[in-house]
Structure 1
Amino acid sequence: MKELLIAVREGRHRDVPALLAPLDRPERRLALAELKAVRKEAREWEWRERTRAQKAVLVAGAGCHTGAAGCATWIGARELREWARTPYPWVLEVLADRDPAWLADLARRLAARSIESEAEYRLVLELVRMADCPLPVSDGIVRGWAERVSGSRWQRRPHPPLTDILRAEPHLDVLAPHLMNMPELPASVAWSGDADQGAHWPSALTALAAEGLLNRTLLLDRCTTRLLRGGKTADLRFCLLLLRGLEPTVQEEAERVADWIAMAADGPSPVAGHAQEVLARLDGHDRLSVAQLADVSGAVLFRTEKKLVTSQLVLLGKVLRRNPSVAGQLLPVVAEAFGHPDIGIQERALKLTARHLPSIPSTAHQELAHMAAQLGPVHRSAALSVFGDLLDAEPAGDAYEEILPPAPAPRRLAPAPENTAELVEDVVALARSGSWEVTDFERTLDGLIRCAHTDRTALTEALRPALAGQWWAGAGEQDEIDRRFGRNHDGRHLVAASLLGRISERAIAQGRARGTGTGTCFHAALDGVLYARLWEAAAAVRTGELPFLLATPTWHTGSLDPVELVGRLRRYQELGIEPGPADFSQALLRVRRSDGHEAADQAAGLGTVEGDRLAAWIRADEPVAPVLRRHVEAEVPVPQGWFQQSATGARRILLATRERRVIQQEFPRAFHWLGRPYSPTQQSCYHWATSAPQGMAALPEDGETLAAWLLPSVTTCVEEQRGGAWPLPALVETGGPVAGAIHLALAYGLGARYPEDRLSAVDALLLLAARGRLDAALLGKELTVLIDRELVKPGRLASSAAAAAATGAYRTVLSVLVPVLPALLSRERAPRGLSDLLAVAAECAEHGGPPKTGPIAGLGAAAARGGSTQLVRQAARLEAAWGRAAA
């Protein structure tokens, strides 16, 4: 046993089988306990030594386990999978003397675990051969098998057809059908390639099914079940290709008619389209009953995909022409399309109803007329000609009411925790979560200052064991800890680490003297402001002199009540305490300036330097950095790295800010960037587009300034990057005036490339309208300019507008679109997406009525062009809605 353990520690796994062979069961149990200790000890070794030892640990542990369950757990441990060349041949050697039933049990248990490589698949396969038992089938086994098959094909020259490789697989009949049972197909299978390249899995499986090597009926059932279950697009495409390749007969398709109905009703568009084709084929062979057709049609006509809905109406039309006697069963289903948002589908459904209305009893007309009330105003006259007096000429409706979200009310921060146990819980939660959420961070930071002031010893004793697992709390070298904190790493831990004495006095002095915040972009500047506050708090918490922080916000946005700040300064004055420069400067940036004249008088009455500065700051009521009202063409160089957040080219519209000298003269160095003249042409930003919440909370009363500085990041959302528009909802909650910068940022967001960015912009639009601060004419003007410069595409704007209108904000959306449409309608060639914009505008006008403005320039000419294009139809629809409102 001693020699075995020496070999394991030295990583000589090839020697383990010979050293293990003489040991009996009790000796192996004793050796196993020692191996567990070595395994635990090796985790701290240098990685080369650890890898060598773990190979030997794996082989020896597998041979020392007497139970299959424990052996499977040992072999399948994740930490024992860290090498390139696996020692599984030696594992098999130490298990060669086991009973076949034991080996079969081990193979089943390993197959049920996560199989992550071809080597693990081969291990199970060899155990099955040794036990002479059936191969256990699991997702991991099939994944390893698929990787081995694909790998063996690419390793040969020339590459043989996949069909030939699969034909030679001994377990093909049980492994291949399981592919459709997996939650996600192996990448090598899902990526099918072209059918004529020899690596096409669907073609290979259908060929083998035709040869009788695979059960064709089983494959049909598995494909159908998988398509019903849904999944990733690539997986469903694989199943569709396989299903089509199997070429099911009419009888086989008829046996699964309930499945096709379910797919057409609820499946993804490609799956629903295939099911629709099958149902149409079954109808052509008289294998689809009228009741089944009505059942599936009711669900399909409710879908939003116009292609599917149109195809279903075509099928219904064919059936009605062939057999008019079924009109009584099918016309009520056709009438379901009267409520579809697309007016073209409404028109097709109305024409189909009118054509076959005489085939049903007059007593059934009333029901269809009632459903025709869902038709849009553009079809009212046609519906009246079909249903006559059964349809009201103008449906009575309630007075229109704009639906907007509740205007967000500022939420007050809960008082900072002064109880030691509560504070320790908050500090640990913040350290472990990695969150920079404003309310949690600010309350916890203020709580540390307060508790250190009242009972620093008790706080230290409670925090030390709670934070014992943090990287800086161990026995590391002080220089390394100081160096990491000095690089502004792990800012959430900085103050707590200082309180516990894990940062040297020298490092704290250097951190405060460094005066960070002079970066080249907005993100770096605000990061510097945050760290200037943290280093200042790290020094204060060691002495316990400060009773509380001045800059702790009053509300969740980061804003600070001026009267509350005056009270804090008065308390400092009574205690004879000098405010921290960074803390007081951040408090000035957060204080609410509007309607603060009374607070300014109180501040001036303090008779202190800080009181006078606060009074002057509130009375001036100027933004931190005034935004220039001119557009700046961004001369942005091509990024030198993939991580640089910057749109290339010189077409973007950005904004500059003016110098604010008081920031540079009276604030600490960390704040100076905020007061310097800013031009986006001088910015080199390497931060992600989404800014941390702390950035917003640093300037909560300067939304316009924030918007101007955020624009280079926001503009990335119209290109290839996600997340640029995510800060917009928080941006519109900021204080101060709302003018060109915020509206320009919102315009970029409404034209974002990805839906999640557009939804963020829609949320911001609705919040701005709910607060009564939306300038629709200004937003429309900014959108027009961006569309003219091809920075925003009309189709994406239409998607955003439709999402906003769907919430019930019809007049808000229409007021934004009205300034945009004339410029697009005046173009000689209509841009793509204009018909979609007109459709959204028409829907808004029909529901909420047009705003009190004159006619839209160019709309009449577009409607009078003639033809049946969507542009002409939607222009006519909008013009009709406008005319009815004017009448």
Structure 2
Amino acid sequence: MSELTDAVREGRVQDIPGLVKPLGAADRKTELAALKELRKELGRWSWDRWRERRRAGLALIVAGAGCHTGAAATASWIGAREMREGFRLPHAELLDLLAERDPDWLGNVAHRLAGRASTAQMDYPLIEGLVRLSGCEIPATDAFVHGWAEAMPSHGRLLPALRADPLVRTMVPRLFETAELPAPVGWYGDAEEPHHWPTALTVLAEEGVVERSLLVKCTIARLLRGGRPGEAAFFLNLLRRLGLTADEEREHLADWIGMAADGSSTVAGHAQGVLGGLALAGGLPVRSLADMSRSVLFRPEKKLVRAQLVLLGKVLRADSGSAGELLPVVAEAFGHEDTAVQERALKLVGSRLSAVGAEVRAELTLAAGALSPVHRARAAEVFGELPAEPEPVPYEEILPPVPVPAHLAPAPAGIAELVEEVVALVVSREEVTSFERALDGLVRHAYRDRAALADALKDALADRWWLDGESEKGRDRRFSRLPHGLEVVAASICERVSVTALWNTRARAAVRQSCAHTVLNGVTEARLWEAAYLLRTRPLPFLLATPTWETGALDADVLVERLSEYERLCAAPAPVDFAQALLRVRRDAHPEAVRAAAALGTSEAGRLAAWLSGDGTALPALDSGPEHRRPDADAPAGEGRHWLESVTGRVGAVRERLAIHREFPPAFRWLGSPVRPVGSGCHHWTGSESVHWPAVLPEDRETLAGWLLPKVAACAEEDQRGGSWWLPALAESGGPAGAGLHRGVAYGLGARHPDDRLSAVDALLVLAARGDLDAPLLGRELAGLVASGAVKPKRLADAARTAAATGACATVWSVLAPALPALLAETGPARPGLGEVLSVAAECVERSGARGGIPGLAEWAGRGSTSRLAAQAARLLAALRQGGDQTMAH
């Protein structure tokens, strides 16, 4: 022990420079060896000493930096994250201690620290100080630039600070080269705020502190490169504040065209405006305008498409000689998916058709063949005789392949392979199949040779908190709260959690009247705690509940075989393991399996036989309840929440069944008690959902749908994100697909965020491919949700168009057809977006050749209005009547 190590242990950072400076090279070498040992010791301190360890760690960094001689070793020591634990360095003490070193050495350390992406941003004050002391070149790493931006003050102090900063000329251009814009640079709410970065940079350019031409060039290059929406907003604001001249705009002509073609919506809109101004001023060649228009006219943003057609119309009016080159570009929009865009393009071509020669006219007439049937009559008036329509290709519905259930691979046969899989799951616990295989593998190998398995796990998981530094009391406390996935089983095998703690946790009763988060997570947690406990008391030869299918389902004959093997080995089934096996066993068992289970003669086999035959204990949570009404059409959207809490008989209040409490362990007693749905007043955060849930009840997807419904409903009603993740999984699960699942799909199709809508589309297509889709039911649910305001028609149209684009037009129409009568029958103004729904419906009918009638459609089509709703109603009506004069239902 020395005075220096004592100061480090006590965390006296301010004393370290005074203790190190007087030391010679030999003494520093000796102290460094002691400091390295102290570093190892520090890593073994338990978490309950975290304050002491934090102070000692920072002191250790300063002391070690002063005792090292090599630049590389010094930088590595300073950047060591396990000593810093995410805290900022004491840079004043470090600079004081290192200032005596050679300038080249200081510059070397500065550049090495700047190259450490994980810490350089936080270490900016130290690196800047080293650069200042050494006079070396400024580091150009992204992290250093981010650190510089974060070091700048905000509000009224920003501009003076930038003016006075000697690094500003070098660092401002680097802002535009980083992979991501530093967060403080984009923190401004008001685009006209005088004390934020866009304004400050503009002022610096006006004052000559930063070269204006360089700022313009870098801003345009960054917009062309693309990036996050927030970053684009910053650069667009900066560009507008710079106020480019006409000459500067013409200088970057190719960049504007690239942005208009491939930029984000806002960037493309700005570029389109710049190019439009140049075109009308004669500064944009017709050939360039034509090239730009070809790209813009097929962008998904209808606002940009309409604006481009308007621009082309203005150019054609100003310069009729450009018609020969521009009208063929306009005609390319005849094939646009939006019939309103087709109509605009047709009107524009018709108004300027006289300005082109016979060759161009023939080209335009040929292009008119791509128009929707609803526009062919008008096209015939414009062009005269149109080319004959090609013989229609018989429509073929394209659905995804029916998901083929995959067998779950057996548990890893060797310890090395098993340990590798366990390590992967410790890092990421999101793979259900690997989890089930690894859990069964741990049980099997521990049964055979627990000592060998423990040795392998200790080597592979040496850095885990329960193997290094944590006290026994701390480990027991943490594992009693949560099993941390497979870690509690691995810790039990390595004897790093006490049997007493596992017994107390395993015996803990489930919380009554709880939410689905608790009960579903509780099953997985109870399985882990039980396995961890039994590994130390009476090891199981294997698990009964390990699925035979990747969905989580378990074949009845396999479970019978496992029970038979248990009987042969005189092994008693574990209660939680057997209860989970019952919930997973497939209900379509062959009578032979029932008879084989009954013939075994054990109590568990008897329960299995009764379960499969329907003679066992009734489970209210899994029973079908009476169908509840949908929300009233005039009910506010928020009232859907109260309806959802009682939407299925499974979720409603049910009397507790004493038999269930006798036959099932505490983690499963929710089967006889009311369970609140996820999101129904529970305390769990969004994102607490688990991919393990579908595997808990793989044969009861309606039960899960009832519990999870409020989350996907919130995606539509409250614009939340991520609540529809379970829809595709349940579409592939077993059991009836009833009102709960279809209602969940309906809410998902109207979700706010595209990812959630895509999950619902996937579920819809899988249900259709499996023959589980009840299209009239889903259509009625959609109509009710739209009428209540829970689902917005525009979102529904987007989801339906996505599904139809896969080739499932007939499926989409089968869902929309029963929804449309109620939507069209509403009194008062039409709902915004309903025209988009009719557009998708018309497209599906045109492609699939569906026929029939929709009540109320003819009235909307016959109103003579120029609205999109009336136009698409007429289009759908014509498509339904195509091929024959059929009487429409009214």
1:638 corresponds to: none
Query: What is the CA deviation profile of residues 560-607 of structure 1, one whole-angstrom value per residue up to 9, with x for unaligned ones?
Result: 222222333333444444433333332222222226333223333444
2:400 to 386, 399, 405: 405
Evaluate the alpha carbon distance shift between residue 633 and residue 248 of structure 1 in structure 2; reply closer, same or farther with a 3 A threshold: closer
Letter in 2 for 1:753: R
Letter in 1 for 2:235: C
Q: Within 5 Å, which residues of 2 pair with 1:490-505?
A: 490-505=484-499
Q: Is the 8 A contact 1:180 1:223 kept in 2?
A: yes
Cα distance, 1:473 vs structure 2: 4.2
Q: Is the 8 A contact 2:702 2:740 kept in 1?
A: yes
Measure, in 2, the Cα distance between the counterparts of 1:537 and 1:85.
43
Query: What is the CA deviation profile of residues 749-787 of structure 1, one whole-angstrom value per residue up to 9, with x for unaligned ones?
Result: 222222211111111111000101100111111222222
1:291 to 287, 292, 309: 287
Q: Is the 8 A contact 1:518 1:528 kept in 2?
A: no
Evaluate the alpha carbon distance shift between residue 338 and residue 187 of structure 1 in structure 2; reply closer, same or farther with a 3 A threshold: same
Measure, in 1, the Cα distance between the counterparts of 2:468 and 2:165.
55
Query: What is the CA deviation profile of residues 808-852 of structure 1, one whole-angstrom value per residue up to 9, with x for unaligned ones?
Result: 1111111111222222222222112211211111111111133x5
Measure, in 1, the Cα distance between the counterparts of 2:85 and 2:411.
46
2:813 corresponds to: 814
2:831 corresponds to: 831
Measure, in 2, the Cα distance between the counterparts of 1:485 and 1:630.
42
Cα distance, 1:524 vs structure 2: 2.0
Q: Is the 8 A contact 2:516 2:676 kept in 1?
A: no
Aligned-residue RMSD, C-alpha: 3.4
Query: What is the CA deviation profile of residues 487-526 of structure 1, one whole-angstrom value per residue up to 9, with x for unaligned ones?
Result: 3422423344444444444444444543547451233223
The answer to whether structure 1 residue 594 and structure 2 residue 591 are counterparts is no
Unmatched runs of 5 consecutive residues or more in structure 2 = 632-637, 886-890
Measure, in 2, the Cα distance between the counterparts of 1:540 and 1:135.
61
2:577 corresponds to: 583
Cα distance, 1:305 vs structure 2: 1.0
Q: Is the 8 A contact 2:701 2:736 kept in 1?
A: yes
Evaluate the alpha carbon distance shift between residue 135 and residue 496 of structure 1 in structure 2; reply closer, same or farther with a 3 A threshold: closer
For structure 1, which segment, 140-149 or 765-774, has the greater mean C-alpha deviation from structure 2 after superposition? 140-149
Q: Is the 8 A contact 2:28 2:68 kept in 1?
A: yes
Secondary structure of 2:649 counterpart: strand
2:846 corresponds to: 846
Cα distance, 1:275 vs structure 2: 1.2
Letter in 2 for 1:800: A
Evaluate the alpha carbon distance shift between residue 470 and residue 708 of structure 1 in structure 2; reply closer, same or farther with a 3 A threshold: same
Q: Is the 8 A contact 1:703 1:734 kept in 2?
A: yes
Measure, in 2, the Cα distance between the counterparts of 1:19 and 1:130.
22
The answer to whether structure 1 residue 437 and structure 2 residue 440 are counterparts is no
Q: Within 5 Å, which residues of 2 pair with 1:331-350?
A: 331-350=327-346
Letter in 2 for 1:237: A
Letter in 1 for 2:627: R
1:450 to 444, 447, 454: 444
1:640 corresponds to: none
1:614 to 604, 608, 613: 608
The answer to whether structure 1 residue 143 and structure 2 residue 143 are counterparts is no
Q: Is the 8 A contact 1:166 1:172 kept in 2?
A: yes
2:635 corresponds to: none
Measure, in 2, the Cα distance between the counterparts of 1:436 and 1:109.
37
For structure 1, which segment, 370-379 or 758-767, has the greater mean C-alpha deviation from structure 2 after superposition? 370-379
Q: Is the 8 A contact 2:439 2:486 kept in 1?
A: no
Evaluate the alpha carbon distance shift between residue 375 and residue 195 of structure 1 in structure 2; reply closer, same or farther with a 3 A threshold: closer
Cα distance, 1:798 vs structure 2: 1.7
Q: Is the 8 A contact 1:526 1:698 kept in 2?
A: yes
Measure, in 2, the Cα distance between the counterparts of 1:328 and 1:576.
90
State the TM-score, normalized to the length of structure 2.
0.88
Unmatched runs of 5 consecutive residues or more in structure 1 = 635-645
Secondary structure of 2:188 counterpart: coil
The answer to whether structure 1 residue 210 and structure 2 residue 206 are counterparts is yes
Letter in 2 for 1:563: D
Secondary structure of 2:648 counterpart: strand
Secondary structure of 1:248 counterpart: coil
Secondary structure of 1:693 counterpart: coil
State the TM-score, normalized to the length of structure 1.
0.89
1:670 to 646, 662, 667: 667
Evaluate the alpha carbon distance shift between residue 547 and residue 785 of structure 1 in structure 2; reply closer, same or farther with a 3 A threshold: same
Letter in 1 for 2:818: P
Measure, in 2, the Cα distance between the counterparts of 1:562 and 1:701.
12
Evaluate the alpha carbon distance shift between residue 652 and residue 599 of structure 1 in structure 2; reply closer, same or farther with a 3 A threshold: closer
Cα distance, 1:877 vs structure 2: 1.4
Greater RCO, CA 8 A, separation 6+:
2
Cα distance, 1:251 vs structure 2: 1.9
Cα distance, 1:748 vs structure 2: 1.8
1:641 corresponds to: none
Q: Is the 8 A contact 2:517 2:678 kept in 1?
A: no
Measure, in 1, the Cα distance between the counterparts of 2:784 and 2:589.
35
Q: Is the 8 A contact 2:443 2:543 kept in 1?
A: yes
Q: Is the 8 A contact 1:625 1:660 kept in 2?
A: no
2:752 corresponds to: 753
Measure, in 2, the Cα distance between the counterparts of 1:112 and 1:706.
49
For structure 1, which segment, 285-294 or 502-511, has the greater mean C-alpha deviation from structure 2 after superposition? 502-511
The answer to whether structure 1 residue 92 and structure 2 residue 103 are counterparts is no
Measure, in 2, the Cα distance between the counterparts of 1:85 and 1:675.
53
1:368 to 357, 364, 367: 364
Cα distance, 1:407 vs structure 2: 0.9
Matched length: 865
Cα distance, 1:262 vs structure 2: 0.8
Letter in 2 for 1:251: D
The answer to whether structure 1 residue 182 and structure 2 residue 178 are counterparts is yes
Measure, in 1, the Cα distance between the counterparts of 2:345 and 2:676.
57
Query: What is the CA deviation profile of residues 106-151 of structure 1, one whole-angstrom value per residue up to 9, with x for unaligned ones?
Result: 4444455559799954544444444456655554444344334324
Q: Is the 8 A contact 2:476 2:497 kept in 1?
A: yes
2:863 corresponds to: 865
Evaluate the alpha carbon distance shift between residue 144 and residue 318 of structure 1 in structure 2; reply closer, same or farther with a 3 A threshold: same
Cα distance, 1:280 vs structure 2: 1.8
For structure 1, which segment, 200-209 or 220-229, has the greater mean C-alpha deviation from structure 2 after superposition? 200-209
Secondary structure of 1:176 counterpart: helix
The answer to whether structure 1 residue 626 and structure 2 residue 620 are counterparts is no
Letter in 2 for 1:696: P
Cα distance, 1:461 vs structure 2: 5.0
Q: Is the 8 A contact 2:676 2:707 kept in 1?
A: no
Secondary structure of 2:405 counterpart: coil
Measure, in 1, the Cα distance between the counterparts of 2:309 and 2:597.
74
